[in-house]
Amino acid sequence: AVVFRLANIIGKRSNHGVIYDFINKLKKNPNRLEILGDGTQRKSYLHVSDTVAAMLYLFKEFLKEEKIYDAYNIGSEDWITVTEIAEIVSREMGLNPEFYFTGGVNGGRGWKGDVKIMLLSIEKAKAKGWKPKMNSYQAVEKTVRELLGKE
């Protein structure tokens, strides 16, 4: 068995999460974007195409070995802030809204239970020969374009 621990997976079928939320908020009010928290939350994002490629590659590698079990973290090697995501969404929509930060809870988190910083170590997967094609910024840009019908 192979277990994959995944970062924030995004892509054209994303129907929840910060990117989807920002697009919908800006469609309703293109002049002002409410951002939960203080905007400094940093998280790793991985496009679904990189996720599937990682899972297939690492499973094939697993089958070459005589193991019963293995586990891998699958994610990007970097992170992006919520404010940077807001900037990408705004730019791709051709807007320049005012950002309004709610301030958040527990040190700037967007909501109770939100993770302020999320970056998985993917060193084990890299040692097997896999690495993502896109960084977090590129994955977010591609997903925004896909959700807006530009790709």
Could you tell me the CATH number of the domain that includes residue 64? 3.90.25.10
Q: Structurally, how many domains does the chain consist of?
A: 1
**Statement: residue 114 has pLDDT above 90:** no
For the residues 113-135, what does the mean pLDDT come to? 94
Average pLDDT, the chain: 95
What pLDDT digit, counting tens, does each position of 53-66 carry? 999 999 999 999 98
For the residues 80-107, what does the mean pLDDT come to? 94
Q: Which domain holds residue 126?
A: 2-147
Residues in CB range of 126: below 8 A, 6 or more apart: none
Q: What is the pLDDT of residue 80?
A: 98
**Statement: residue 105 has pLDDT above 80:** no
